[in-house]
Amino acid sequence: MHQYRVLSGIQPTGEPHLGNLLGAVRWWVTDQREGDCFYCVVDLHGLTVAGDPAERRAASITMATLLLAAGLDPESCTLFLQSHVAEHAQMAWLLECTASFGELRRMTQFKDKTAKGGEEAARVGLFTYPCLMAADIVLYDADRVPVGDDQRQHLELTRNLAQRFNARYGPDVFVVPDAQIPPPGRGARVMNLQEPDRKMSKSAGSPQGVIGLMDDPKDIERKVRRAVTDADDGPDPVRYDPAAKPGVSSLLELLATLEGVGPDDVADRYTRYGPLKADLAAAVVATIEPIQARFRELEKDPDHVRRVLRDGADKAGAVAAATLRRAYDAVGLLPPAG
């Protein structure tokens, strides 16, 4: 019997990066041994931005393959594609009718993602996407949601929506989930190596500062070697001081996260940037290379990955259907005659 229920997801938009791995996916791998875990490639979320249909299809399979390569075991967790379980979109509507326009307007990710193109051109789905994310979570009665720090606000919204719904329609309709965010400096917010004030992202920021999980080891070494550091002040420039030295501090956080120690402990071992960068590059390559090797094996058999997703959707769909029916009954939607 599992102690707790987990739900988390990742968008198949762009190439996943070290931030996705350290902020979320590696926790998924750990949790699958103890929790009843549902992991979802959230392809519907990907529709909030433009994309080519053929590329979308390929990206979904690639992302699922990569998650298996990173260590998800279909015997220990349920891996599925969001669009294979129709209840996600249906539940999202209930939550759009629970959320207020004002609170969605306050979501910083919407503001960030519309900053460049403007609100006029933004898809409505980009605005309502936090309700779909909340639907993903409540459908599975998830107690825990392992995510990076950038999702903190969306998780808070999910909790508010679940509590509001329960207050209106019955105390036990939804489980109110907790965000499971890595501790600060331990992968919660991996920064872009070229822009240490901005998180590493699939879609924004300097590509030279993003370490992709499929990057060639030589590229990883180059990106780490060229990572922005701070002015070389004094005899011991390698200090952990995120406010005054954001560049070197984010490198220290990365190496610390990979080694499972504190950033100050890592800083104590170095007096110059060069050796720190060399060790960091080696640690990143050592983490990513086995994932890439498994990916190359798994991608030879895409039918296997599709079967994993089909079986996952069967299992996820049964749970989701029961929760949706419970929510429909609670709000007063008449069931079809039996």
Q: How far apart are CA 67 and CA 41, in angstroms?
A: 9
Compute the residue count for the chain: 338
Ranked by CB distance to ligand AQP, the top (closest) residue is 23
Smallest gap from Cβ 10 to ligand AQP, in A, equals 4
- In three-state secondary structure terms, 69 is helix
Would you count residue 10 as binding ligand AQP (CB under 6 A)?
yes
Would you count residue 180 as binding ligand AQP (CB under 6 A)?
no
Q: How many binding residues for ligand AQP (CB under 6 A)?
A: 20
CB contact at 8 A, 59 and 15? no
Would you count residue 20 as binding ligand AQP (CB under 6 A)?
yes
Q: How far apart are CA 104 and CA 134, in angstroms?
A: 12
What does the block give as tokens for 78?
């349920």
CB contact at 8 A, 28 and 79? no
Q: Which is nearer to ligand AQP, 259 or 301 (CB)?
A: 259
Select from 5, 6, 7, 24 the one that contacts ligand AQP (CB under 6 A): 24
What does the block give as tokens for 247?
């560049």
Binding mask 249-288 for ligand AQP (x = CB under 6 A): ----------------------------------------
Q: How far apart are CA 191 and CA 236, in angstroms?
A: 23
Smallest gap from Cβ 126 to ligand AQP, in A, equals 10
Would you count residue 201 as binding ligand AQP (CB under 6 A)?
yes
Which residues in the 144-163 window bind ligand AQP by CB under 6 A? 147-148, 150-151
Residues noted as catalytic = 113, 199, 202
Reported in sequence order, the residue ranges of the chain that DSSP labels E, i.e. its strands, are: 5-10, 36-41, 77-81, 144-146, 178-180
Smallest gap from Cβ 202 to ligand AQP, in A, equals 4
Q: Which is nearer to ligand AQP, 170 or 242 (CB)?
A: 242
Listed in sequence order, the residues at least 6 apart from 10 whose beta carbon sits closer than 8 Å to its beta carbon are 16, 20, 24, 25, 40, 41, 42, 63, 67
For ligand AQP, the binding residues (CB under 6 A) are 10-11, 13-14, 19-20, 23-24, 147-148, 150-151, 187, 189-190, 199-203
